[in-house]
Amino acid sequence: MLAVTAIQAESEPEPGTRHKVDSLEKLALSLIRKKSDSVISQTWAWTTAAMSLSKQANYPHGIAVALACQAVLVNMQSNDFARSEQLARQSLDWFKKTNDRYGITVTYYALGFSLFAQSHYDEALCDYDQARLYAREAGNTDEEIFMLSLMAEAYQERGDYGKAFDILQQCIGIAEQNNNEMQQHWMYQSLAGLFIQIEDYNSAKKYFQMGYRGMTEKIDPWDLLQYAELLSHQHKYDSALYYYGKLDSAKLTPMVMRTWLVSKGEYYLCREDYASALPYLQQSIVIQRRLNDRNQTMRCLQDLAKAYLGLQKDEDAAAYAREELTMASATKAKKNIRDGYQIFYTIYDRKSRTDSAYFYYRGYISMRDSIMNDQVKGRFASFHFEQKIRLLKQEQELSDAYIQQQTIVRNVLIGGMIVLLLSGFISFRYIQVRRKNEAQQAKNRLEIQWLEGQRAKAALQQRAKELEVQALRSQMNPHFIFNCLNAINYFILNHETEAASDYLTKFYRLMRMIMNHSRHSLITLGEELEVLRLYMDMERLRFKDAFDYEFILDDDIDEGEIHIPPLLLQPFVENAIWHGLLHKQQRGLVSIEMFCREDMLTCIIQDNGIGRKQAAFLKSKSVEKHKSMGLQITAERMALLSGAEHFFRIEDLYDDQGNAAGTKVILNIRLHSPITESAEALN
């Protein structure tokens, strides 16, 4: 370790030595953030030479800058953040011995980055802010924006999304004032990551595309990783796998490699392929444990716990969850604490240890609500952010229009003076022409106002149509919820505790999906089928596996590209189970077949139940006279959405002896095509 007291007082080195040291350090500072292994090796050699010369010449400023460069290189090369913090603090001590502050920005950057990696967010923010102030004093706009973006990242990790949005807006404003398109692209990428944190994936994708539009440089591996993770969140797994494949793991730096491993593991976790996720996560945790990057370590421990939980290996899951929860509690990482509580709640619930499960469940609910509150604040901040961006653009447009108008007026005045000097007749003629033009402009304004009124009227009509659809949807959800609660009550009254717990868990998952889908007019076919599978699993549990079901999908169907209204198929499946299979003595079967023809999706829902005639007879004998509104509401929804009043038909099935053999429902659904967001800039 280099002792600060090695040089008692600053002495002026020989001009030649000082010039050589400064030259070496300027070269190092110019390449300090290059990620090539050869560049890092060469930069380390320069800083080592500068350090040796500075010590020989008793040159404190040279020692300070050399230590700062080494702190950054240690961050990049070995990710030894504790060592980097130590070198950065030594650099600051040496800067106190000199009035020359050139290079001190790098010191505060290295110190802030190492503290951030160790989850000391408040201290990291202070050091980043110091680096920003020195960069501003030096007139280095690029460095100032970079430090602000790191501050935004720290606020984001701390859960303060509002401040993160404010800082990124400030960055974009500075970049626009300096016409720095590259910095604008970088800030759009940071915005995309921030929108992922508040689970606004559509906005995240929009800013990713804005960031890469018009870029000619190679895409940064970190951004490719983040984009692949976004696609995984959107359940576009094939696309996500494509972007993971664009990163050649053999050519990645150690810092990117360890993150690539945990990210690829999370891809398989999203697909619930826990066995495939484990090798990536186990490789990553070996690397993480050698370092002190608490953020990535907690992330990896959490993912390992989820993988073992999915594989029913509760002891291994508990071990990783306990380590992750201890670390998260020390750093106050809310999301990690929440997920740790959820894992322990699930483990104890499986073991029927009610008290422990309830304790962790309460902790999970508390943390979940706190995080949701932060995300809601973030969404409000994002709304204000986009409003401010829109206002700034409008102000710029108005300013440009005003300047243009002033130019026109000036030219008109000059022209008028020339015309007056030439002849009165030409002046008179000019006035007539100008009045005619003003009349035409007034007429044009009236026409524009009329067109705007028509557009507003059309928008109101469309909004009324959407409100009608939402009203119908709100009628459907309570009907289904009532049936589910009835089933749970039945299990409880019959003392079937495990069945009630299992049913309640599935009911929670289903309600969460329905609440997420209720915000959208259209969802993907894959999401609709996922809800349908969960619903039928619940009904099978309720009726003690009295029936089976199967899905038959044509090979040409892409579940992620086809969009349909949410909960469209569920009422028909519910009718098949309740009216067709409920009273059947033998084991029943529901078959769901799908195929596409041009722009039409055909869905055939078939059961081998007792048939409509027998079901109607049994219903007439029943004391309960509940009238199902599911099919009627579904038909009204389709009529509002696409104008299709007769989009399904029902056929009765008979065997060779003419006995009822079930019911077939054939639905013809016109495919919806949401606005396509091109990703060509990412290829």
Per-residue pLDDT tens over the stretch 575-616 = 888 888 877 888 899 999 999 988 889 999 999 888 888 878
pLDDT band at 480 (very low <50, low <70, confident <90, very high): low
Alpha-carbon Rg of the chain, whole angstroms? 33
Query: Does 300 fall in a domain?
Result: yes
Q: Model confidence over 231-240: pLDDT tens digits?
A: 888 888 888 8
520 lies in the same domain as 664: yes
Residue closest to 611 by CA, chosen among 569, 573, 653: 653
Q: Model confidence over 322-373: pLDDT tens digits?
A: 888 888 887 777 778 888 888 888 888 888 888 888 888 888 888 787 777 6
Report pLDDT for 384.
Answer: 59
Report pLDDT for 594.
Answer: 93
Q: Which of 326, 352, 378 is the last residue of a domain?
A: 352
pLDDT band at 298 (very low <50, low <70, confident <90, very high): confident
Report pLDDT for 37.
Answer: 58
DSSP 406-451: HHHHHHHHHHHHHHHHH-HHHHHHHHHHHHHHHHHHHHHHHHHHHH
- Which residue's structure tokens are 């080494």? 70
Please name the amino acid found at residue 301: L
Mark out the alpha helices in 494-524 (DSSP H runs): 497-517
Query: Does 508 fall in a domain?
Result: yes
Instruction: Provide the 8-state DSSP code for 585.
Output: S
Query: Does 55 fall in a domain?
Result: no
Query: Does 21 fall in a domain?
Result: no
- Using the predicted structure, report yes or no on whether residue 471 has a pLDDT greater than 50: no
Please name the amino acid found at residue 134: Y
Structural domain harbouring 305: 225-352
| 567 dihedral zone (left: phi>0; alpha: psi -120 to 50; beta) | left
Report pLDDT for 470.
Answer: 54
340 lies in the same domain as 478: no
Query: Does 84 fall in a domain?
Result: no
Q: Model confidence over 130-182: pLDDT tens digits?
A: 888 888 888 888 888 888 888 888 887 777 777 887 888 788 778 777 777 77
We report the CATH number of the domain holding residue 647 as: 3.30.565.10
pLDDT band at 478 (very low <50, low <70, confident <90, very high): low
Q: Model confidence over 519-561: pLDDT tens digits?
A: 777 889 999 999 899 888 888 887 788 899 999 999 888 888 8
Q: List Cβ<8 Å contacts ≥24 apart for 275-278.
A: 275/311, 277/303, 277/307, 278/304, 278/307, 278/308, 278/311
Report pLDDT for 464.
Answer: 45
Helix or strand (DSSP H, E) at 203 = helix 201-212
532 lies in the same domain as 660: yes
What mean pLDDT value characterizes the chain? 77
**Contact status, residue 27 vs residue 46, Cβ threshold 8 Å:** yes
* Tally of domains within the chain: 2
- Tell me the C-alpha distance between 142 and 171, whole Å: 10
We report the CATH number of the domain holding residue 340 as: 1.25.40.10
Q: Using CA atoms in the order 247, 251, 254, 257, what is the torsion angle rounded to 10 degrees?
A: 20
| Secondary structure class of 92 (helix, strand, coil) | helix
* Residues 164, 170, 174: CA angle, nearest 5 degrees: 145
Q: At what angle do helices 254-270 and 221-233 cross, to 10 degrees?
A: 10
- Using the predicted structure, report yes or no on whether residue 11 has a pLDDT greater than 80: no
Q: Model confidence over 434-445: pLDDT tens digits?
A: 888 777 887 778
339 lies in the same domain as 480: no
Residue closest to 61 by CA, chosen among 89, 33, 22, 27: 22
Q: Model confidence over 404-421: pLDDT tens digits?
A: 777 776 777 777 678 777
Distance from the first to the final alpha carbon of the chain: 47
513 lies in the same domain as 643: yes
Query: Does 27 fall in a domain?
Result: no
Report pLDDT for 675.
Answer: 37
pLDDT band at 458 (very low <50, low <70, confident <90, very high): low
346 lies in the same domain as 478: no
Query: Does 396 fall in a domain?
Result: no
Q: Which of 304, 332, 352 is the last residue of a domain?
A: 352
pTM: 0.47
Q: Count Cβ atoms below 10 Å from residue 482 Cβ, excluding itself.
A: 11
Q: Which of 352, 372, 399 is the last residue of a domain?
A: 352
Residue closest to 247 by CA, chosen among 233, 260, 266, 263: 260
Percent of residues, the chain, with pLDDT higher than 90: 5
Largest CA distance in the chain: 111
474 lies in the same domain as 614: yes
- Tell me the C-alpha distance between 237 and 270, whole Å: 9
Please name the amino acid found at residue 148: L
E strand spans, 587-642? 588-597, 600-607
Query: Does 493 fall in a domain?
Result: yes
With a CB cutoff of 8 Å and minimum separation 6, the contacts of 299 are 262, 336
With a CB cutoff of 8 Å and minimum separation 6, the contacts of 11 are 57, 58, 59
